[in-house]
């Protein structure tokens, strides 16, 4: 199956068209991915997309791509989102929903989708449910990657970042050839403030507080699919696919 990799329509909005489209998939998967920072959700999204032929739809990618879109080409929702971001504020539910609604054709993609970063609240989940229902679509599952907090702290606090080329290393999992030195440009690596153990714990507490109602919401819908995020990425991907097969043969 040919995978839509450029996601142009998702990144730029309804006026853009993807350069490639997946072939018709008789069993497209429509999934939401949940997981705390450090569980490897982004890696799993890419691996699952390759296996399922689905498209990775990350709202974070929309925000990152928005800065490269000319002011005249931005939709009102995108312009509003950028204003919130420039002020260092969270983008409110109604603006995020407007961005997703503009891209509803991406949700209709015949290859299926993996939504990442949305929904983040019960209000967003309810709005997504209505949007999908309006377009005669429904979710297959909500995959929630789970990992003990001590392992998350170890993963994130071990990260080291290059201030020049932005490459990321890990003192255990992906160490540089020379301790503390970037393999690519030779700059001195540093530990980001939000990767320090105390910061990670604060982020985890905030995540748990905001996500608990969301997991309860999807559990009540019979959609929640908890998956252990322990082990190597390939093992986690295989575990996820097995859970999805068991849920929707």
Q: Which residues are catalytic?
A: 41, 120, 159, 192, 203
Phi-psi group of 51: left, alpha or beta (phi > 0 → left; psi -120 to 50 → alpha; rest → beta): alpha
In degrees, rounded to 5, the angle at the alpha carbon of residue 4 between the alpha carbons of residues 1 and 136 is 90
Q: Cα–Cα distance between 163 and 233 in angstroms, integer?
A: 27
Cα dihedral sign, 66-89-39-32: negative
- Count CA atoms within 13 Å of residue 10 on its CB side: 23
In degrees, rounded to 5, the angle at the alpha carbon of residue 22 between the alpha carbons of residues 21 and 26 is 145
Contact indicator for 184, 162 with CB cutoff of 8 Å: yes
Residue 27 CA to its chain's centroid (Å) = 22
- Residue in 128, 111, 143, 114 with CA at minimum distance from that of residue 243: 143
Instruction: Give me the residues paired with residue 222 across strands.
Output: none
């Amino acid at each position: 199956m040919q995978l839509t990799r450029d996601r142009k329509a998702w990144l730029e909005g309804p006026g853009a068209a993807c350069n490639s489209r997946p072939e018709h998939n008789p069993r497209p998967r429509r999934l939401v991915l949940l997981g705390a920072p450090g569980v490897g959700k982004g890696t799993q999204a890419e691996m699952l997309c390759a296996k399922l032929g689905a498209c990775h739809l990350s709202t974070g990618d929309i925000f990152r791509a928005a800065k490269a879109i000319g002011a005249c080409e931005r939709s009102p929702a995108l312009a509003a989102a950028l204003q919130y971001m420039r002020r260092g504020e969270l983008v409110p539910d109604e603006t995020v929903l407007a961005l997703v609604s503009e891209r509803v054709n991406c949700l209709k993609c015949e290859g299926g989708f993996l939504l990442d970063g949305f929904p983040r609240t019960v209000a967003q989940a309810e709005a997504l449910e209505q949007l999908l229902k309006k377009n005669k679509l429904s979710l297959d599952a909500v995959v929630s990657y789970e990992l003990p907090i001590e392992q998350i702290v170890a993963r994130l606090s071990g990260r080291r970042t290059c201030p020049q080329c932005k490459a990321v290393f890990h003192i255990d999992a992906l160490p540089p050839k020379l301790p503390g030195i970037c393999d690519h440009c030779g700059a001195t690596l540093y530990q980001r403030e939000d990767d320090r153990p105390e910061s990670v714990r604060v982020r985890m507490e905030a995540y748990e507080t905001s996500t608990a109602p969301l997991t309860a919401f999807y559990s009540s819908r019979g959609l929640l699919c908890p998956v252990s995020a322990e082990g190597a990425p390939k093992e986690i991907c295989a575990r996820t696919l097995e859970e999805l097969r068991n849920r929707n043969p």
